[in-house]
Structure 1
Amino acid sequence: MKVNINGIETRYVLSNEGGGPWLTFIHQLGGDLSVWDQLAGYFRDDYTVLRYDVRGHGKTAVSAQPFGVIDLSRDLAALLDALDAPTTHLVGMSMGGMIAQQFALEHPARLDSLTIADSSAGTPPEARSMWDQRARAVRTDGMATLVSATLSRWLTPDFQAAHPEAVEPIREVLTQTLPEGYAMACEALRDFDVRGKLANIRCPTLTVAGRHDVGTPPATTQAIADAIEGAQFELLDAAHLAPIEQSHRFAALLETFLEKPV
C-alpha cells in the first residue's frame, strides 16, 4: 500500500490479523520494510503490525529537499494519522532507532513503549565527516561501492556463511537503494543529536545491542539506556543488525517487554 505523507509517496504494510495494539517497526539506513518480515510474522497475531519504507528507501519516493531526522519523525506521525493509529509501540533499528528517539521526544503521548536496537543518540563532531564521505561515495560511484563493507558491519561472518537465504535479500535491498535517498539520509544522521534530551523520555524503554557491532559499539546503545530512567539494556551475540541475526532471541525479549504492565 502507498499513501502520500508530507508530499512523499510512502510505502507501508499493515498486518492486523490480531487486531491488537499497534506495533511499528522502522528499518536501518540502506534497508526497507522487508527486513522485518520474520518479526512481523511473529507478532501479527497479537498486534496491529506496521512497517514502512523511510523516505528515499525501498519503494518510498526520494525527498525533493534536504531533511533531518526530525522530518523523518514527523513522517511517522503523519503516517500514523493517515492510518488512524492513536498510539503505538515503536521499534527502531540503527537509523530507525534514531527516528524512534526523535519521535519519543516529539510525540510522547503517542508512544506506548520504545525499543531501540543498535543505535546512537547523536553523532559526535569527529564522526560527522564519515557521513559526508558516505554520501559523496554513493553520489559519485553508486551503492555498489558500499555493499561489501556495509554487510561486513551488519552481520557476522558466521551468520553470513550459515544463512545466505537471509543475507541475500538484505544485500539486494541495500544495492537497490537509490543513491540520493541514501546520501540525504546520511546527511540527516550526520546532524542528529538528542543526547542532552534523552532524560525527557518517560515511556517504558528497551535497548538492544550486538556484541560484535563495530559500527555502533554496544556502549553507544547502552548510553541511551543509561540516560532514560528505568530503561532496560540487552546484549545479543550479533553484529549491527542484531534483531535480524538473533531474531528468535530478539522476538523473545520484545515479547516479554511488551507484555510488562506499565
Structure 2
Amino acid sequence: MIKLTRVFKTFDGGRSYAVKDLSLTVGVGETLVLLGSSGCGKTTTLKMINRLIEPTQGIIEVGGKDVMDHNPVDLRRQIGYVFQGIGLFPHMTIEQNVEIVPRLLGWSIRSRQERMQELLEIVGLPAESFAQRFPDELSGGQQQRVGVARALAANPDYLLMDEPFGALDALTREALQQELLTLKNQLKKTIVFVTHDLHEALMIGDRIAILHEGNLEQIGTKKDILNTPATQFVQDLFTIKRPDTFI
C-alpha cells in the first residue's frame, strides 16, 4: 500500500505550493491514476513517492514505512519507475538494460537471465530476437516495452509510471495501453500512473485522482467521478467531452 498524509511541496520557501495538503491511499494491487494538466502537481507527487523529490511537509508511506526512513537508493530499487523519456542506456543491449537492477542487487547470472527472458516474453519482445539488440534498433513502442520490462525486473511490488506513452503515436499508444491493462491484471502490482489524457485515465485507472493547481479535486472510481463530480472544476473537465463509453 502507498499512503500520503497531508503532503505539501514548495520549491520557493512557501510562496507557492506545487502540492497542497494531499492525502490519498493506493491499495495493494490497485492502479491509481493521477490526472491533471501540466503544472497541477501530479509528477511532483509521483517523484515524492520514491524520493526523487522530498516533501516539504507530511508523511508518505510505502508498504507501511515512511519513505524518509528509507535509504533513497534502496527505496528506488524496490519501486519500478517508467517515464516518458524511456531512458534506456544506448550503449547497452536490451538484455543488459533489463538486467541492470537485478545485477546491482546481486542476483546470480542465471537468475538475471531467467528474469530477463521471462519479462521480454511478457512484453512481447522474445529474448531470442531482441536481447542482443541495442535501443536504437527498436521502435519507440518497442523501447517503451523494454522500459516496462526493466522497471519490473527486480519484481517490485510498486510501479510508478509518469506519462509513459505520451511521446508515442496514437496507434502505438493505444496498443500499449491495452497491453498495460493485460499486464496489470496478470501481475497484480500496485501502480501509480500519471497522465493528462482523460481517455487514458478512464481506461487504465481503478480509481482516478484529479489534481488542479496542487489541490486534490476528487478521487474515486470512473463511475463516481462521471456521475457525481465533487467540484465545479471536475464537472467542467468531464462536461467538455463526456466519454460515455466508460460509464
TM-score by length of structure 2 reads 0.29
The answer to which structure has the higher helix fraction is 1
Task: Considering fraction of residues, name the structure with more strand.
Answer: 2
Query: Is the radius of gyration larger for structure 1 or structure 2?
Result: 2
Using CA pairs below 8 Å that are at least 6 residues apart, which structure has the higher relative contact order?
A: 2
